[in-house]
Amino acid sequence: MSRLVMKFGGTSVADLERIRNVAARVKAEVEAGHHVAVVVSAMAGVTNQLVAWCRDACLLHDAREYDTVVATGEQVTVGLLALTLQDMGVPARSWLGWQLPIRTSSVHGSARIRSIETEGILKRFEMDGTVAVVAGFQGVADDGRITTLGRGGSDTSAVALAAALEAERCDIYTDVDGVYTTDPRIVPAARKIDKIAYEEMLELASQGAKVLQTRSVELAYVHKVRVQVRSSFSDAPGTLVCDEDEIVEQEVVSGIAYSKDEAKVTLTNVADVPGVAARIFGPLGDAAINVDMIVQNVSEDGERTDMTFTVPKSELERALNVVEKARDSIGFERIIKDTNVAKVSVIGIGMRSHTGVAKTMFETLAAKGINIQVISTSEIKISVLIAAEYTELAVRALHTAYGLDAA
């Protein structure tokens, strides 16, 4: 029998009625002849409450105890779903991260999965087809302590489990019915994408699209796990994330992503000498601060220049502190910060073989009077940094310019 992993997020298991809806979907897949493993998140709002309690109890809390607390949300959900499936006549058993076990690194709060032991699940599959109901978002470190994978980590749990089980597919059920060409709340004419390549989905996720967690797409790409994004609340076909060889006709541009979670930092009057970039970005990397866009202004005299880069807003104060501590070795004059910025990205694997994509982007933004502050590119992506108040205008204009609007 083929194996299938199904993942349900917090809104899908928000109450008992929705858990029964999830159980009915799982039962249908069992009756269709699949061996099924289900990965679930905590009920909607529960993790936020647990995080708030940790902060209220101790602002500078111990990360190990934080993981102990926030991992409990999924424990409730797996138990309730297993009970509901049993009530429907479907054999089911719950598994917590430490019970499989899902072995992770010991970086509490943002651990990475190293391996998943699936012998127990496979034995149950062969014995009586027992559905494995697995707690997402959590694992266990080498010292036996509970770890968590960071927000959105249940997607990563599901894809990793699908890879370990060599599943036919991993279905991610959410409150949307697939991946769209852009945010439908901004562009009502956005179209649902039937199939999208791993690389495109990875870029969309990393550039601000919220449908799938970035690390889960990375895992799917590496292990070639076919991922289908579907709605928990309808039977509409979803979006398949797969190898580009499965896509017959590739769009030049597949989607427009945006992120308002950006902050721009400029260091003025930096020495224009070899090694200065290492002295800036080395300490930031050591502090695990993700630097995204980087631009160095042209130095007229060949001696001093300005260096601009972006970091997540949530990391801005830490980044400023790290750079300030390295002031003597860097040798800058002052720091200028700007949180009133947004990143807008045009993404598509068709860009590899088509020219003029950048030209269209720049001309479209210019026609709307939108100034570009920073530009970065990759083989299948062009990103620009603009003033935050122009985000929606830019997304709508670009969506139309690339012919992505629904007919």
Burial of residue 277, with CB atoms counted within 10 A of its CB: 0-12 exposed, 13-18 middle, 19 or more buried: middle
- 47 appears as a binding residue in the annotation: yes
- Residues 6 or more apart whose Cβ sits within 8 Å of residue 8: 22, 38, 39, 40, 41, 173, 232
**95, 120 contact by CB (below 8 A):** yes
**Residues 230, 177: Cα–Cα separation, whole Å:** 5
- 7 appears as a binding residue in the annotation: yes
- 125 appears as a binding residue in the annotation: no
- 210 appears as a binding residue in the annotation: yes
- The kind and range of the H/E element at 353 are none
- 74 appears as a binding residue in the annotation: yes
- 291 appears as a binding residue in the annotation: no
Q: Specify which residues 39 forms β-bridges with.
A: 7, 134
Q: Convert 107-144 to b/e letters by CB count within 10 Å (16 or more is b).
A: ebbbbbbeebebeebbebbeeebbbbbbbbbbbbbeee
- 8 appears as a binding residue in the annotation: yes
- 348 appears as a binding residue in the annotation: no
The structure tokens 């999924």 sit at 74
SS3 of residue 406 by DSSP: coil
**Residues 216, 4: Cα–Cα separation, whole Å:** 16
CB atoms within 10 A of CB 26: 25
CA end-to-end distance (rounded Å), the chain: 41
Q: What are the tokens at 81?
A: 């779903």
**Residues 294, 284: Cα–Cα separation, whole Å:** 13
Q: Which residues are annotated as a binding site for ATP?
A: 7-10, 174-175, 180, 185, 210-211
Q: Which residues are annotated as a binding site?
A: 7-10, 47, 74, 174-175, 180, 185, 210-211
Q: Which residues are annotated as a binding site for substrate?
A: 47, 74
